[in-house]
Amino acid sequence: MKQSAVIAWRNIWRNKRRTLITGAAIAFSSAILIFFIGLQLSSYSAAIQATTSIFQGHLQIMLPAYNEEGEIRDTFQHAETLREKLLRVDGISDIAPRAEGFAILSSASRTFGAKILGVLPEQERNLSTIPGLMKSGTYLSSPTAKELVLGKTLARNLKVEVGDEVTLLGQGKDGSTAAALLTVKGIFESGSLDLDRALLEIPLGTFREVFSLGHLQDNEAHLFAARVNHIMQTEKVVDRLNHNFRSAEAELEAYTWDQITPGLKQAIELDMASGWLFYLSLIVIVVFGVLNTFLMSILERTKEFGMLLALGMNPKSIVSLILLECVLLLCVGIIPGIALGAGILYYFHIYGFSIPGTEEAMKMWNLPSAIHPEITLLNLSLGPSILFLLAVVLIIPFVLRIFKLEPLEAMRAV
Amino acid sequence: MIGQIELQDVTRTYTQGEETIHALHHATLTLEPGEFTTFYGPSGSGKSTALNIIGGLDLPSSGKVLVGDASLTEMTRSERADFRLHHIGFVFQAYNLIPVLSAIENVEFIMQLQGITGDERKERAASVLKQVGLSGMELRRPGELSGGQQQRVAVARAIASNPELVLADEPTANLDSTTSEALIELMLELNETYKSTFIFSTHDPLVMKSAHRLIELKDGQIISDSNKEVA
C-alpha cells in the first residue's frame, strides 16, 4: 500500500502543470461551493429562526385532534404542571402554553375577523419576538388583564390606537357566546404581513374566561409553543417528546416547525432545488476537467500498464493504483479548496454578507440585513464530497478497461 | 525449479486484413534448466513470438507449452500472470522501467508484488544493483540514467527475486557495443551464479557469440538448433 501510494503520488506530478491547473480548478470550485452552500444553508437557518422566533416556536405540543381540526374544544388541562415537566426534557430551552380562537373584532367604526391568541405575557417574552416588536404602546402586562395587543395592519384596518377599546365576539368552548371589551395596550409590527394583519394577543387568563375554557384551576390550553437549544435538534427533541413523554402525559403530540408551517419548508426546498442546479452545473464542468486530465494520463501510460501486466502485476492492483491517483489528484484540489472556502466563510461569518440594496426587502421578511454564514462540517464538506464522489464514480468505467488490457498489445501502444 | 521448457508443435498465427501470418509454425523444442539460449533470425522470423509464448504473454493458436509441470496453454489469464510474477524475470528491449521510481525502487517493485518483506527486499535490491555495477546510483530515477544503466536496472529487476527463467527480448538493441558486451557478461555471470535459464531473442552477434545454445528461426520455423560446448 505504501509503495502504491508513493507511485500514485509521484505519478500525479509527472505533468506538474496539468496537475496544478486541474487542482486549481477543483480548489476554486470547492471554495465556491463551500461559500454558496454555506450562505444558502445559513440563510435558510436565519429564515427559519426568524419565522419561528416571531411567534410559533421551534416545536409545538398539542392534542393530535387539535392539530387536525383546530377545534376550540380540543384542550388539555393542567398546563402549568405539564409545563414544569416539559421544561425538564433535554433540549427544551423555553416553553409557554397558549390558547387559540377566532373572533369578530369591532372598533368604533370597523369590524374585522382575527385569530385570538391567549398567552402568558412573562413566558411569552422568552419565546416570541412580538413583545419586543411593539410599534406603539406596550406588551400585555398580566395574565388576567382586560387588554390586548394587535398587529399594525389589523389596528389600521380597525382604525384603533393604543388606549382604544375593541369588542371581541366569538364562540366559547362550551358553545356559549364569547364576548369581551378589551383595551388596546400595544400595536406590534412583526414584519410578517400575515401576523400584522390577522393576529391579536390577549392574556391567557382573560382568554380562558372569555372563551369558557373550563374552571380557572383546570389551567386549560390548546398548545405549548417551545424553543429548543439549537434548531437543528428540533427533530430529536420532538422524537424524544413523542417517545418518552406522550405515553405518560395526556396523549399530547409534538410537532416540528416544518410540520406546523409546511409552506416555509416547501419554499426552502424550492430555493434549494434551483441552488443545486447551479452547484451541479459547476460540479459537472469541473468533473469533466478532472476526467479529461485523468483519461489523458491513463492513455499516455497504456504501455506502462502493459509492462506491469507483463511483469505479473494483478490488473486489480493496477486499477487500485489508478483510483488512488484519482483520489490524490482530487485531494490536491479539494484540501486547499476547503481551506480557502473555510477562510471565505470565516470572513463573512465575522463581517456578514449582504447584497447592497436588499436590506429593506430582508427587513420586510423579518430577515437580518446581513447573513453570517456558519462554519459547519456540513457546509464545508457537502459540495466537495459530491464533487469527489461524482468524479470517482465517472472515472471508474474508464479505469475498469484495464481488466481488458492484454500486456503485449498494451506494450505496443504508442 | 520449473524444470524443462517444452514447445510442442506450437503455431501462432495472426491475421492482417485477409492475409494469415504464421509468426510461429509447428515449432517443437525442449530447453533444459540453466541453459543460456538465444533465438536469432531476421525481423519477423518469430523470435519475439517464441519468447512471448514461453513467457505466457501470448498464447499459441495451436500446440502446447509446458514449463516444468505447468501447462501455460491451459492456465487462466490470472494464473499466467501469477506464474510470470513468481517464476519469470523479463528484460525488455525498451527497458520499461517505472519512470517515477528510483533504480532501487524499480528493483524492489517486483519483490514487493511477490510479498517479500521490507528489509529483505531492500537488502536484495541493493545487492543486485551492486552486482550489475550500479552502486551509488540506487536513488536515481530512470530519466537520470543512461540507456546502458537503465538496461542494467532492468536486468537487476529481472533477477532480483532469483527467477528460474529470465526472458530477454533484444536486450542489447538500444545499447552500444561496449555496454552490450558488459551486459552479456553480466548475464552470463548471473546464469552461472543462480543457474537460472536465460532465453534471449536477438540479432546481435555479440549475444549469439556468448550463448550456449543457438536456435535459428525463419518465417516462424526453427531451421537450426545448435548446442555449443560450455567451458
Give the count of alpha carbons within 13 A of A176, CB side only.
11
The DSSP line for A30-90 is HHHHHHHHHHHHHHHHHHHHHHIIIII-SEEEE-HHHHHH--TT--BS-HHHHHHHHHTST
Here the ipTM equals 0.89
User: Which pLDDT value is given to residue A326?
Assistant: 92
Distance in angstroms (rounded) separating the CA atoms of residues A324 and A6: 10
State the CATH architecture for B5-227: 3-Layer(aba) Sandwich (3.40)
Q: Chain B contacts of A10, Cβ < 8 Å?
A: 100-101
User: Which pLDDT value is given to residue B122?
Assistant: 92
Instruction: Kindly state the average pLDDT of the residues B160-187.
Output: 85
Length of chain A, please?
414
Nearest to B112 among A3, A304, A314 (CB): A3
Q: Which of residues 46-105 of A touch B (CB under 8 A)?
A: none
Q: What residues contact residue B129 under an 8 Å CB cut-off, 6+ apart?
A: B103, B104, B107, B135, B137, B138, B153, B156
Is residue B26 within 8 Å of residue B62, measured between CB atoms? no
E-state strands within A251-366: 253-256
Considering only alpha carbons, which residue of chain B is nearest residue A14? B100
Question: What three-state secondary structure class fits A6?
Answer: helix
Is residue B29 within 8 Å of residue B222, measured between CB atoms? yes
User: Which pLDDT value is given to residue A338?
Assistant: 97
Considering only alpha carbons, which residue of chain A is nearest residue B141? A10
User: Which pLDDT value is given to residue A334?
Assistant: 96
More confident call, B123 vs A355: B123
User: Which pLDDT value is given to residue A193?
Assistant: 82
Is residue B13 within 8 Å of residue B20, measured between CB atoms? yes
Residue B96 one-letter amino acid: N
Q: Do A307 and B112 touch (CB under 8 A)?
A: no
| Residue whose cell numbers read 533484444 | B170
**pLDDT tier, B231 (very low <50, low <70, confident <90, very high otherwise):** very low
Distance in angstroms (rounded) separating the CA atoms of residues A70 and A101: 9
A5 at interface of B, judged by CB pairs closer than 8 A? no
Is residue A312 within 8 Å of residue B86, measured between CB atoms? yes
Distance (Å) from the C-alpha of residue A393 to the closest C-alpha of chain B? Answer: 26
Is residue A184 within 8 Å of residue A137, measured between CB atoms? yes
Q: Chain B contacts of A402, Cβ < 8 Å?
A: none
Question: What is the Rg, in whole angstroms, of the alpha carbon atoms belonging to chain A?
Answer: 31
Straight-line distance from the first to the last Cα atom of chain A, in angstroms, rounded to the nearest whole number: 29
Q: What residues contact residue B192 under an 8 Å CB cut-off, 6+ apart?
A: none
Nine-digit cell at B35? 541453459
Q: Mind listing the pLDDT tens digit for each residue in A239-260?
A: 988 887 665 556 888 999 989 8
Distance (Å) from the C-alpha of residue A398 to the closest C-alpha of chain B? Answer: 21
The conformation of residue A176, written as its DSSP 8-state character, comes to: P
Q: Do B113 and A313 touch (CB under 8 A)?
A: yes
Distance in angstroms (rounded) separating the CA atoms of residues B89 and B154: 9
Q: Mind listing the pLDDT tens digit for each residue in A14-27?
A: 889 999 999 999 99
Distance in angstroms (rounded) separating the CA atoms of residues A104 and A166: 10
Residue B43 to residues A123, A155, B36, B47, B56, Cα–Cα distance (Å): 98, 103, 21, 8, 21
Question: What three-state secondary structure class fits A326?
Answer: helix
Q: Taking the complete model, does pTM exceed 0.90, yes or no?
A: no
Distance in angstroms (rounded) separating the CA atoms of residues A186 and A207: 17
Instruction: Kindly state the average pLDDT of the residues B83-97.
Output: 90
User: Which pLDDT value is given to residue A296?
Assistant: 87
Q: Chain B contacts of A6, Cβ < 8 Å?
A: 101, 105
Can you list the residues of chain A whose pLDDT is less than 50? Answer: none
Backbone angles phi, psi at B76, to 5 degrees: -75, 170
The conformation of residue A232, written as its DSSP 8-state character, comes to: G
Nine-digit cell at B19? 492475409
Query: β-strands A165-171, A177-188: how paired?
Result: antiparallel
Burial category of A328 from C-beta neighbours within 10 Å (exposed 0-12, middle 13-18, buried 19 and up): middle
User: Which pLDDT value is given to residue A377?
Assistant: 93
Number of Cβ within 10 Å of residue B23's Cβ equals 24
Q: In this complex, how many residue pairs, one in chain A and one in chain B, have their CB atoms less than 8 Å apart?
A: 56
Distance (Å) from the C-alpha of residue B167 to the closest C-alpha of chain A? Answer: 11
Distance in angstroms (rounded) separating the CA atoms of residues A268 and A182: 39
